[in-house]
Amino acid sequence: MAGQPTIYSGQGFSLIRDKKRFVLPNTLRPTVRESSGKDIMCLAKHPEWKCLVAFGLSRVDDFEKQLDAEEERADRAGRPFNRDKRAMQLYSFQQVPFDGSGRFVLPEALSGLANIEDQLFFQGVGRFITIWNPAELYALAEDPEMETIVATCRSLADAELAKAKNK
């Protein structure tokens, strides 16, 4: 459906693999591929949380409308809004290729911003995907709104670590 926004839904977990690659989960990969028109994922730092966001290239088409809406809200509320600063945040993503199996290399600069080491938890949140170092997500466990996401991450991590241990 033309004009409909891309919606990311689902979760996944990846341990670092050979050649320092992670794997974009099957539940999210087709949506990213469709949104980008190729095997490219856009990655950036989340503006508030210590995690990354991922999305397909089609989302970039909406950035100017998003900036307009944010500026209008700030004006109505009488708050300052630095459009250039916000635009730098939005447009500072990196295009990261992934292969047919979803394997990709996380750029070092981004992994450092989110304290990512050897595990990733992926959570589709509508317009984008959050990508977490599980330890950073677990630090939010006291927040009741994060309870289900933290529990899902723990469950997927346990399963993936058990599977790796048996190899």
From first to last of the 167 residues of the chain, give the pLDDT tens digit: 346 789 999 999 999 999 999 999 999 999 999 999 999 999 999 989 999 999 999 999 999 999 999 999 999 999 999 999 999 999 999 999 999 999 999 999 999 999 999 999 999 999 999 999 999 999 999 999 999 999 999 999 999 999 988 87
In terms of Cα–Cα distance, which of 142, 109, 144, 116 is closest to 130? 116
DSSP 42-105: EEEE-SSSSSEEEE-GGGGGGHHHHHHHHHHHHHHHT----HHHHHHHHH--EEEE--TT-EEE
Neighbouring-strand partners of residue 131:
52, 122
Burial per residue of 85-116, b for 16 or more beta-carbon CB atoms within 10 angstroms, e otherwise:
ebeeebeebeebebeeebbbebeeebbeebeb
- Options 3.30.2390.10, 3.40.1550.20, 3.90.1300.10, 1.10.630.10; CATH of 11-58+94-165: 3.40.1550.20
Count other Cβ atoms within 10 Å, centred on residue 63.
14
DSSP-based three-state secondary structure for 8: strand
pLDDT at 1: 39
Residue 3 is predicted with a pLDDT of 61
